[in-house]
Amino acid sequence: MKRLRKQHVLEQSIYGAIWIVIFLLPLIGGYFAMSGGLEREETRMVIRESWLSILPFFVLFLLNNYGLVPYFLFKKRYWQYTVSLIFVIGMICWLSPFPSANHFPKDFKRGELPHRMKENRRDQIIKTREKAREEGDVHWHESNPEQRPRGMGDPNGPGRFPKPTPFPYPPFVLRYLIHFIIAFLMVGFNIAIKLFFKSFRDEEMLKELEHQRLQSELQYLKYQINPHFFMNTLNNIHALVDIDTGKAKSTIVELSKLMRYVLYEASNKTILLSREVQFLKNYIALMSLRYTNKVSIQMDFPAEVPEVQIPPLLFVSFVENAFKHGVSYRSESFIHVLIQLDEGNRLSFRCSNSNNGSADEQHHGIGLENIRKRLRLLFGNDYTLSITEEEHKFDVLLIIPLLLSLIHI
């Protein structure tokens, strides 16, 4: 959600920056015009006229960006959007003020331009006459038009001055056409930016939905492990009732500790490694009560467990399978469980047990299959799960990363 808010702020910042630049352009042009000799009052008129011309397009942007696009275009109401957009653009163009001749500098007004041209023509004739007198080559007579330099001041000569034309205002239809083109270009640019950021938002929402789906699937797999775990444990207690009633009672006490962990602490997304190690110790101690000295059970855990987080109930299924399929009452059996921290912030878990001919069941147990799914969902491809079978040994090696991001999965 934070990334979505950042993208929204970035989108609005882009719009704001663009419109600030657009509204500053008349000021920049006015500054250069004043530097070129334009009077202050005339500059103010031009700037005000420019802002009045920009304002309708700004209103069109607001209506399109915050009204038409969210409520029509993004909801796939294309006909409503098209009709509404054409209507709004038509109203904006109809209400847009057009430049008036009175708002332009004096040189561009209809009455001033011919006057300035006449003054320039008279000055040019006087300068040419004075130059000719100084050289003594030409005698000027005001009454004899033939002695005038050819084309100078002769209204009928080939070099006569053209009649001044008024300021060329575009025709009515052309002005509206220009406004329509500008409006549609602006709307197209606005829609392009909106769609660009919408694609990012849709991608983030898809990631969020995928994350929620993965969480739901993880919870489902975790809840599948719990009844499977309790069923196996209750079977052990049932076997102990007929063998040793005292052990059965102590087993129930140990089972209550395990249930407390599974029902309350294991519901979290991650758990301290020390709590998971203690849970495995309690579980192995509980399972060991029903076996004789023919079964060799070894636990090799770190003496000082660091404060790192791992997903809960990640190793118990392997230990369950080791007790279920790796122990034989007729021959000597062994179970060896090891946990160690490797370099590069990685955790290694190894569970080895004797192979008594039930390896196929150990490969395809419900708990083990759930663990494979959980590993793929939690770590993607950043884990190692190696299951090897020898003649008298079945070995499981699991290596997972210990990352800070894993805490928030």
Q: Is 138 or 28 the better-scoring residue by pLDDT?
A: 28
Give the helix ranges, DSSP H, for 264-386: 273-288, 316-325, 359-363, 366-379
Binning pLDDT at 50, 70 and 90, where does residue 220 land?
low
Of 251 and 223, the one with more pLDDT:
251
**% of the chain exceeding 70 in pLDDT:** 70
Q: How confident is the model at residue 231 (pLDDT cuts 50, 70, 90)?
A: confident
CATH 3.30.565.10 is the classification of domain 215-408: yes
Using the predicted structure, report yes or no on whether residue 219 has a pLDDT greater than 70: no
Give the residue, 49 or 211, on which the prediction is more confident.
Answer: 49
pLDDT at 132 over 50: yes
pTM of model > 0.85: no
Is pLDDT of 396 > 90?
A: yes
pLDDT of res. 397: 93
Q: Are the C-beta atoms of residues 160 and 151 closer than 8 Å to each other?
A: yes
What number is the average pLDDT over the span 209-215?
A: 66
Spatial distance between the Cα atoms of 27 and 359, rounded to a whole number of angstroms: 83
Q: Confidence class of residue 358 from pLDDT cuts 50, 70 and 90?
A: low
- Please tell me the predicted confidence (pLDDT) of residue 111: 46
pLDDT of 209 reads 65
Q: What pLDDT score does 89 carry?
A: 86
The four Cα atoms 97, 98, 103, 106 give a dihedral, to 10 degrees, of: 180
Residues 359-375: what's their mean pLDDT?
64
- Per-residue buried b or exposed e for 130-150, using 16+ beta carbons within 10 Å of the residue's own CB: eeeeeeeeeeeeeeeeeebbe
The sheet carrying 393-401 orders its strands as: 295-300, 333-342, 346-354, 393-401, 384-389
Q: What is the pLDDT of residue 166?
A: 47
Q: Stretch 203-223: mean pLDDT, rounded?
A: 66
Using one digit for the tens of pLDDT, what is the confidence trace for 63-74?
999 999 888 888
Copy the structure tokens of residue 32: 């250069």
Which token pair is 41?
Answer: 């009052």
Q: Encoding tokens for residue 338?
A: 């090891």
Is the pLDDT higher at 168 or at 295? 295
Percentage of the chain beyond pLDDT 90 is 10
For 176-206, the pLDDT digits (tens) are 788 788 888 989 999 998 888 888 888 877 7
Residue 373 structure tokens: 């799914």
pLDDT digits (tens, 9 = 90+) for 236-252: 777 777 777 777 777 78
| Assigned token pair, 226 | 């719990």
Question: Quick one: average pLDDT of 153-163?
Answer: 48
Neighbours of 266 (CB within 10 A): 21
Per-residue pLDDT at 218: 56
Each domain of the chain, given as residue ranges in start order, spans: 2-108, 215-408
Q: Which residues of 15-46 are buried (b: 16+ CB within 10 A; e: fewer)?
A: eeeeeeebeeebeeebeebeeeebeeebbebb
Mean pLDDT of all residues belonging to the chain: 75
